[in-house]
Amino acid sequence: MTWANNLDVDAVLISHDHIDHIGGVAELAEDVPLYCTPLVAKALPPNRAWHPLPERGSLAVEGIIVTTGQAGHSLGGVWLHLAVGGGIFYSGDACFESRLFPFDTPPPARIALLDASYGSYDQPQAYCVQAISERLDQPLAFPVPETGRALEMALWLAEEADRRQLTLAIDPVIRDNLAALLALPATLRRPVLDHSIRLLLARQNACPPTLQLMCDRNDTPAQWPNHHLLHTGYLTPDRRAQLAAGEISWQRWNVHLRASHLVALADQLGVTQVVPLFTRFSDNELNAWQGLLGDRLCTAQRFSTHSRLVTFPV
Ligand SMILES: [Zn+2]
């Protein structure tokens, strides 16, 4: 039994290639039409048929106009807007604060399903970056998702390494993804960065480096005897135990909407209902969301629009 058993859907739209958003495709029937951007399609199971979504634009899917825009979160990642029921907006994972990935202003919507991964957390990215920079006086290894914050952290670490005269190595997969970003139309990345990206791609990896940015391959402290592991995102239960034991460190690098940005997005969309996604509602969090969103807060798992039924995870 999987999530895809007895699934009655016309099509599946994928926002981006992180495992918690694309991993379930392996269980999806082959005959269900699948839509994603070309860069995201690289992460699909081999030979899985797919239809292209634009990085920024519109197309008709099963008679519904679907509009996409840059979500500010990852290489090839988009938000989705469906022109049905007064407009339904799905942010996928989204962020306003990326130094590399732009966030496009979406069209108005009546219902918004928004990335609430951070709950009511609202710390600005400048604070996070400052906190990480204060730890750069020791050999550090950063395991990161290779299509997401890896790319912007690579640029930032290169600046910091130059400023402090530290040596740096960046995983070849992350370099390839930066090259893929550079190959996209310039409007799909923040302006004035192309020169920095080219310099980074031309830079040799130090061996051994003081600072190491690598793709997250479930690295353990034992695999890095000469570096301290600094995590910047979600921690698995194993890693939470490592953190509690002082074996690793953690400092968030913002890659999701923080609370005030989620509210700003809801305001901008002009929505009447907001469903916070990817979060659990403890009593405290529920109170916080009610304070932030008022009557717009929606915690139902299912509701219908004029023409279609909408189901979503909460
Ligand atoms: Zn993601």
Query: How far, in Å, from the CA of 74 to the mean position of ligand 1?
Result: 7
Q: What is the pLDDT of residue 307?
A: 44
Distance 208 CA to ligand 1 centre (A): 30
Instruction: Work out the pLDDT band at 280, boundaries 50, 70, 90.
Output: confident
Q: Give the mean pLDDT of 263-276.
A: 97
Residues 232 and 260 in one domain: no
Read off the pLDDT of residues 147-182 as tens digits, 9 standing for 90 and up: 999 999 999 999 999 999 999 999 999 999 999 999
- pLDDT for 4 equals 81
Predicted pLDDT at 27 = 92
pLDDT for res 264: 98
CA of 73 to the centre of ligand 1 (A): 7
Compute, in angstroms, the gap from residue 15 CA to the centroid of ligand 1: 9
**Domain final position from 250, 271, 290:** 250
Residue 67, token pair as written in the block:
């509009």
Residues 107 and 158 in one domain: no
More confident residue, 301 or 288: 288
The pLDDT tens digits for 218-269 are 889 999 999 999 999 999 999 999 999 999 999 999 999 999 999 999 999 9
| Predicted local distance difference test score (pLDDT) of residue 137 | 87
Same domain, 113 and 19: yes
Ligand 1 centroid to residue 278 C-alpha, Å: 11
- Cα torsion 219, 225, 230, 236 to 10°: value is 30
- Give the Å distance between the CA of 287 and the centre of ligand 1: 26
In the chain, the number of structural domains is 2
**217 CA to middle of ligand 1, Å?**
16
Residues 149 and 239 in one domain: yes
Residues 6 or more apart whose Cβ sits within 8 Å of residue 72: 94, 95, 96, 97, 98, 101, 102, 103
Q: What is the pLDDT of residue 310?
A: 52
Last residue of a domain, one of 198, 223, 250: 250
Task: Report the pLDDT value the prediction gives residue 299, as an integer from 0 to 100.
Answer: 85
CB 34 within 8 A of CB 14: yes
Q: Which of 265, 233, 217, 250 is nearest to 117 (CA)?
A: 233
Residues 75, 182 share a domain: no
Dump pLDDT digits (tens) for 105-149: 999 999 999 999 999 999 999 999 999 999 998 999 999 999 999
Q: Does the structure show a pLDDT above 80 at 1?
A: no
In a domain, 152, yes or no: yes
For ligand 1, the distance from its centroid to the CA atom of residue 98, given in whole angstroms, is: 13
> In this predicted model, what pLDDT tens digit does every residue of 36-67 receive, in sequence order?
999 999 999 999 999 999 999 999 999 999 99
Last residue of a domain, one of 215, 234, 250: 250
- As a whole number of angstroms, the distance between CA 282 and CA 271 comes to 24
92 lies in some domain: yes
pLDDT score of 33 more than 50: yes
Q: How deeply is 233 buried, as exposed, middle or buried, from its count of CB atoms within 10 A (0-12, 13-18, 19+)?
A: middle
State the pLDDT at residue 80. 98
Structure confidence at residue 314 (pLDDT) = 40
Q: What's residue 304's pLDDT?
A: 60
Residue 239 CA to ligand 1 center (angstroms) comes to 19
CA 93 / ligand 1 centre spacing (Å) = 5
Q: How far is the CA of 207 from the centre of ligand 1 (A)?
A: 30
CATH number of the structural domain spanning residue 197 = 3.40.50.10890
CATH code, domain with 54? 3.60.15.10
How many angstroms separate the alpha carbon of residue 148 from the centre of ligand 1? Answer: 7
Residues 133 and 114 in one domain: no
> Residue 172 domain-assigned?
yes
Structural domain that includes position 88:
12-120+256-311
| CA of 80 relative to ligand 1 center, distance in Å | 14
